[in-house]
């Protein structure tokens, strides 16, 4: 296929992704931009039916009083992220969450659980000094996405469903973004969409691990595109493992799906195969320690057990009363029952599962990137969480920064009267990259993906060492090389899912390499990144974050100092020029 055969399409604002960030961006862009502005949303699947926000169970962190404050939420976020977050981003997240939750209720139409007095019910989540997690039972994401989907579908924005983004196409000088190359998955046709502003909100999806929570089509495509475009990516070693992923066996895709943090917040206990409660051996907060600590505790117990037939540990809720558990956690009880477990009255086997990605594209607090015309929000953006995301901060981050992105693009698009011309050499290279497997001899792809997942779990997982990660790099390179020898049948490109499986795996290989190289560059242990050969966290006041970038086809990793713009390690009171005075909980 030649560049001249690519279909062309123009729009003013293009939004990639329809999770919480993408849908909120569409609504805010519609409100901010002039009536004549054309807004287009594109998604790999169907609007409202795919993405990670829909899968959110636990809830939405927001400081709504009762002893809680924005400042307190902010300090929990900074402490949870082990002083690596971009403080300006973290502050804006906590501050705007209060605005966004009211917007979700009063304008979008979400119904969240309430107390008897009519106030929003807020439950306990780990790593936080207040009960601040607003929720809809344990199916919060479905409530948020369903209501957002209704609003967006009624807004009149253009929809490109089942369209896969495969390349960010810059201008000839590389300073600005001209548009995005896409595949119409329904026909297999290529379409270049020129846009004056583009939001990348494709989500993360660390599915390169043996145990993972996102659906298999979440494969870090956005970060892989940003890497090839030369953008800087920060905190790429920071993969969050949720402590309690369902362990139901290799025969079902239910394995790895999350049993939400609210179970432990409500008093759920973790026990090993000897029936012993063990988390207090690892942290004074027990099961309510942060996710990284609980994941390491479980992983350590798994290594002690060393029995392949009894790999995980168990979560037990029965001591809280089976009927109480069934009432409070209906979704979780049903999910476990579908997999043969009785959460309310028995024990459920669990394992740490790759859940969320704290790393992402370097952006400013208005979601702008170093490339004019490109904006990033949600899990694709780095900075807000640092080394560890607090449970409940994820959907807040997506909706807060999705709205900010929509507002920013709505203002910026007025400055750009003309469409930018693409660099046709890059367009041709991205096209060639996408059709590469159609020219090779067809073979099976899934065995290679499982090989990558085993490699990452064993070598670049919950606990890491230099030797293990170097071995992991070798394994990733081997999978990448083998992938390049495998092709797919290109006789019919319409809904050719094998073709997309190939493209998915290539994205996963690219980002797996970056995760591993960033992990090698960080010779200390912070949050989700734990090195057994460098177990100490290092001095907080000397904190650095990693920055990865691809240049001339090679990935290099640098370190940059964290700017303590609001509060410094060791301070008990915020400086006078901070947003407000705060007594910090260190």
Q: How far apart (Å, rounded) are the C-alpha atoms in residues 253 and 234?
A: 31
Taking every pair of Cα atoms in the chain, the longest distance, rounded to a whole number of angstroms, is 68
Segment holding 391, helix H or strand E: none
Q: Dihedral sign for Cα 143, 145, 149, 155, please.
A: positive
Residue with tokens 């669990």: 350
SS (H, E, C) 150-184: HHHHCCCCEEEECEEEEEEEECCCCCEEEEEEEEE
Q: How far apart are CA 318 and CA 336, in angstroms?
A: 14
- Residue 554, judged by CB atoms within 10 A of its CB (0-12, 13-18, 19+), counts as exposed
Q: Which helix (H) or strand (E) holds 428?
A: helix 424-435
d(CA 295, CA 165): 33
Distance from C-alpha of 566 to C-alpha of 578, rounded to nearest angstrom? 5
User: Looking at the DSSP assignment, which residues form a beta bridge with residue 234?
Assistant: 360, 547
Given a contact cutoff of 8 angstroms between Cβ atoms, the answer to whether 430 and 503 are in contact is no
b/e sequence 272-282, b meaning 16+ C-beta within 10 Å: bbeeeebbeeb
Residue 264 annotated to the active site? yes
> Which one is catalytic: 72, 132, 234, 264?
264
Nearest to 20 by CA among 391, 385, 377: 377
Distance CA(52)–CA(397), nearest Å, equals: 13
Q: Please confirm, yes or no, whether 251 is among the known catalytic residues.
A: no
Whole-number Å distance between alpha carbons of 362 and 366: 11
The answer to whether the beta carbons of residues 235 and 546 sit under 8 Å apart is yes
For 555, residues 6+ apart whose C-beta sits below 8 A from its C-beta are 227, 513, 514, 517, 548, 549
194, 242, 449, 522: the catalytic one is 242
Q: Which of 352, 328, 332, 338 is nearest to 259 (CA)?
A: 332
Q: How far apart are the first and last CA of the chain?
A: 59
CA distances to 18, 204, 223, 380 from 43, rounded to whole Å, are 6, 14, 15, 15
Question: H-helix or E-strand containing 545?
Answer: strand 544-551
Q: Which residues contact 133 (CB under 8 A, 6 or more apart)?
A: 58, 59, 60, 61, 122, 123, 124, 125, 262, 265, 391, 392
Q: How far apart are CA 231 and CA 92, in angstroms?
A: 23
Catalytic residues: 242, 264
């Amino acid at each position: 296929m030649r560049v001249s055969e690519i279909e062309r399409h123009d729009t003013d604002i293009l939004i990639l992704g329809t999770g919480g960030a993408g849908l909120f961006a569409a609504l805010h862009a519609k409100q901010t931009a002039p009536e004549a502005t054309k807004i287009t949303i594109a998604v790999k699947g169907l609007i409202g039916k795919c993405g990670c926000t829909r899968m959110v169970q636990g809830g939405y962190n927001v400081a709504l009083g009762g002893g809680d404050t924005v400042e307190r939420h902010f300090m929990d976020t900074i402490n949870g992220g082990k002083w690596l977050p971009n403080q300006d981003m973290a502050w804006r997240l906590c501050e705007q969450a209060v605005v966004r939750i009211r917007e979700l209720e009063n304008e979008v139409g979400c119904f969240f659980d309430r107390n008897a007095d009519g106030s929003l019910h807020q439950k306990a989540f780990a790593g936080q000094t207040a009960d601040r997690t607003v929720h809809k039972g344990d199916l919060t994401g479905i409530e948020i996405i369903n209501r957002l989907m209704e609003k967006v579908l009624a807004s009149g924005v253009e929809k490109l469903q089942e369209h896969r983004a495969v390349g960010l196409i810059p201008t000839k000088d590389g300073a600005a973004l001209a548009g995005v190359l896409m595949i119409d998955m329904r026909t297999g046709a290529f379409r270049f969409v020129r846009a004056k502003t583009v939001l990348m909100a494709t989500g993360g999806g660390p599915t390169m691990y043996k145990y993972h929570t996102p659906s298999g089509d979440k494969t870090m495509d956005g970060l892989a595109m940003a890497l090839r475009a030369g953008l800087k990516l920060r905190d790429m070693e920071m993969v969050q493992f949720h402590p309690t992923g369902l362990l139901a066996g290799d025969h079902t895709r239910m394995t790895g799906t999350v049993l939400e943090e609210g179970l432990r917040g409500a008093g759920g206990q973790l026990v090993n195969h000897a029936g012993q409660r063990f988390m207090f051996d690892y942290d004074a907060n027990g099961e309510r320690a942060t996710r990284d600590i609980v994941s390491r505790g479980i992983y350590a117990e798994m290594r002690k057990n060393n029995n392949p037939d009894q790999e995980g540990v168990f979560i037990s809720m029965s001591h809280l009363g089976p009927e109480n558990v069934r009432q409070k956690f209906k979704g979780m009880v049903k999910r476990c029952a579908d997999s043969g477990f009785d959460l309310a009255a028995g024990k459920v086997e669990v394992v740490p599962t790759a859940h969320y990605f704290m790393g992402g594209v370097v952006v400013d607090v208005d979601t702008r990137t170093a490339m004019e015309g490109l904006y990033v929000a949600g899990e694709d953006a780095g900075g807000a969480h640092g080394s560890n995301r607090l449970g409940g901060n994820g959907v807040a981050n997506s909706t807060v920064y999705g709205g900010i992105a929509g507002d920013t693009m709505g203002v910026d698009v007025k400055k750009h009267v003309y469409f930018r011309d693409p660099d046709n050499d890059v367009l041709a290279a991205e096209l060639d990259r996408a059709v590469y497997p159609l020219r090779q001899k067809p073979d099976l792809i899934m065995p290679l993906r499982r090989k990558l997942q085993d490699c990452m779990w064993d070598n670049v997982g919950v606990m890491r060492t230099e030797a293990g990660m170097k071995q992991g790099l070798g394994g990733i390179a081997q999978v990448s090389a083998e992938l390049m020898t495998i092709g797919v049948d290109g006789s019919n490109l319409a809904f050719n899912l094998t073709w997309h499986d190939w493209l998915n795996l290539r994205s996963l290989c690219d980002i797996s390499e970056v995760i591993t190289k960033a992990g090698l560059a960080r010779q200390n242990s912070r949050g989700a990144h734990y090195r057994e050969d460098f177990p100490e966290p290092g001095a907080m006041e000397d904190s650095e974050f990693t920055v990865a970038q691809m240049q001339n086809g090679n990935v290099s990793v640098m370190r940059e100092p964290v700017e303590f713009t609001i509060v410094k390690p060791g301070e008990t009171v915020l400086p006078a020029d901070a947003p407000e005075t705060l007594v910090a909980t260190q």
